[in-house]
Structure 1
């Protein structure tokens, strides 16, 4: 085991996030249009280094171009032109997808925003045609390859970013993975991963209590794994846990857990007020920001190194205002 167990990054690099080029505002769609997303262009562009990809343009299709769709023919998926199914692009798209994803795997990508309903980029519920009818149970060919080859990567569709819960979950995952890479500093070690895990214990409790226990056991048995194996396994399990959205119930349990750290510092009246604020959040009368402001106030008065290290309190930049409505 390497001796360095610090999890404080010595140098922060840019946050690289892949994105469907049309969602970034590039006019690359079949009709020469785009699907620019306001949250992406106004709120995320200053924070992320976007890597824009249009698979159709990547395989040499023109702009504008004929519309394409996914067709299921005898257990085989095909990417064909909508008005002329004899014109097929399946092999070219699969080859491009494999090559592009292999390139992205070398860049410590922290997330990916894809275009909904696209036969190449859609993440779910893509129209799949078979024998003259269509069902919404397909996945775009490019995004399917991306998620299969990089199962730890946070992937979200542009339209789902309009949902405040899904938006906050995706951004939390992006910053969590970025923090993980920064903590490794390009030289992963068991000690660094254990230190990283310590800072995310409350986050894991909020997202997935069962995964929190499982990851705790994994970390406790760190000596049983080779470093590379432990790195890959922990990254996958950690990111899968964060995919589970933090519920109001789980958040409330974490807040009560945090309250216990102040029981010797606060008066009985202050403890009761603390519980009341948590209860108001639990019942939906306050956003999560309410009890968090109170916790940060008490931490300024009664510092606690462990609590102050917990990313649950600040999983992403405050200027994004993602916890104002949760």
Structure 2
């Protein structure tokens, strides 16, 4: 993929000083590493609805079954404005986005565990969702969305970036025109990546594409929904081991007995946490160079994202 990804991002996370105190929440992974491969589309919903910088802090306040967003004293209610802004953005500004990175704990942008204060001012519960992000998720269920803080976790980071590159691939695929042959080819490239995340989805998506009773557009819609949900499951040493053992089978007629045993031993060593995943992938790619296999070489599993991002060090 030659063109850059387009990723939506909370403006403070890319370093813009738009927070209530004129601060930011810059995530250096985005500005210093991911920016090599992505063009960011920043947005601050609070500034977007006309709030100034600096400004009084706003919070989510529980009023019975209703959540309102206002200043701590209940004045300056911006609930409807944030919902309207988020809905308009989600419907009209996300068509070319491959992912979105939001600011954790924000009453407008938080994805989960946002503080919701009791109306009487006594205590809070961390069970809210930012009103802007709430609209983003509801109206763009396929769009990979993650919080800045969670992206410091190497497994979560790798999972999110894998989903972003996958969704960009799908957007490019759809823009080039949908045919049954191209849909099957797309899936053939993703089979082992899916297996490494969720074996049940691997089986279900194969059965879906074998059906002849669905219109192609409906089949494609069900497929991408199933694919993106499959990739939300975090790959583990167990699921990687299953996948690596399947890949091992492609070399059984080419490798010597000694080399087959070496590969099998390294896979089990990875399963037991003794060998890094990158060692296995390097070994498989080495065998692929010696014994080319176009089908295996086309597997996204082997290169789901640029090596420069160093994302598979968590395994």
TM-score by shorter chain over 0.5: yes
Alignment of 1:278-289 (within 5 A): 278-289=267-278
Question: More displaced, 288-297 or 174-183?
Answer: 174-183
Distance in 1, Cα, partners of 2:46 & 2:236: 38
Given that 2:107 and 2:130 are in contact with CA atoms closer than 8 Å, whether structure 1 keeps it comes out as yes
From 158, 164, 173, the equivalent of 1:168 is 158
TM-score of the aligned structures, taking structure 2 as reference length: 0.96
The equivalent residue for 1:104 is 93
Which whole-Å CA distance do the structure 1 matches of 2:139 and 2:165 have between them? Answer: 20
Q: Is the counterpart of residue 71 in structure 1 residue 61 in structure 2? A: yes
Q: How many residues align?
A: 313
The corresponding residue for 1:145 is: 135
8 Å contact kept, 1:190–1:230: no
* Paired residues of 1:81 and 1:88 also in contact (CA < 8 A): yes
Which of 273, 280, 292 aligns to 2:281? It is 292
Matching residue within 218, 229, 233 for 2:218: 229
Q: Deviations over 1:130-154 (max 9, x none)?
A: 2422111111011111111111111
Please give the secondary structure, in 2, of the residue aligned with 1:206.
helix
Q: How does 1:120-139 map to 2 (within 5 A)?
A: 120-131=108-119, 132-139=122-129
Quote the offset at 1:87 in angstroms: 1.9
CA distance in 2 between counterparts of 1:228 and 1:19 reads 30
Stretch of structure 1 that moved more, 36-45 or 124-133: 124-133
Q: Which has the higher contact order (CA 8 A, sep 6+)?
A: 1
- 1:6-55 Cα offsets, whole Å, 9 max, x none, are xxxxx854311110000000000000000001111100112101110100
Residues 196 and 240, structure 2, Cα contact 8 Å, conserved in 1: yes
Runs (5+) with no aligned partner, structure 1: 1-10
8 Å CA contact 2:154–2:313 kept in 1: the answer is no
CA contact (8 A) 1:13 1:182 kept: no
Match for residue 116 of structure 1?
104
Where does residue 201 of structure 1 map in the other structure?
A: 191
| Cα distance in 1, alignment partners of residues 29 and 56 from structure 2 | 29
- 2:257 alignment counterpart: 268
Under a length normalisation based on structure 1, what TM-score does the superposition of the two structures give? 0.93
User: What is the root-mean-square deviation in Å for CA atoms of aligned residues?
Assistant: 1.3
Q: Which of structure 1's runs of 4+ aligned residues deviate more than 4 A?
A: none
Give 1 or 2: higher helix fraction: 2
Pair 1:188 & 2:178 matched: yes
Pick aligned residue for 2:71 from 74, 81, 86: 81
Match of 1:242 among 208, 228, 231: 231
Distance, in Å, in 2 between the alignment partners of 1:278 and 1:304 is: 20
The whole-number CA distance in structure 2 between the counterparts of 1:224 and 1:16 is 35
- C-alpha displacement of 1:200: 0.5
Find the counterpart in structure 2 of residue 3 from structure 1.
none
SS at 1:200's partner residue? helix
Find the residue that maps to 2:263 and give its secondary structure.
helix
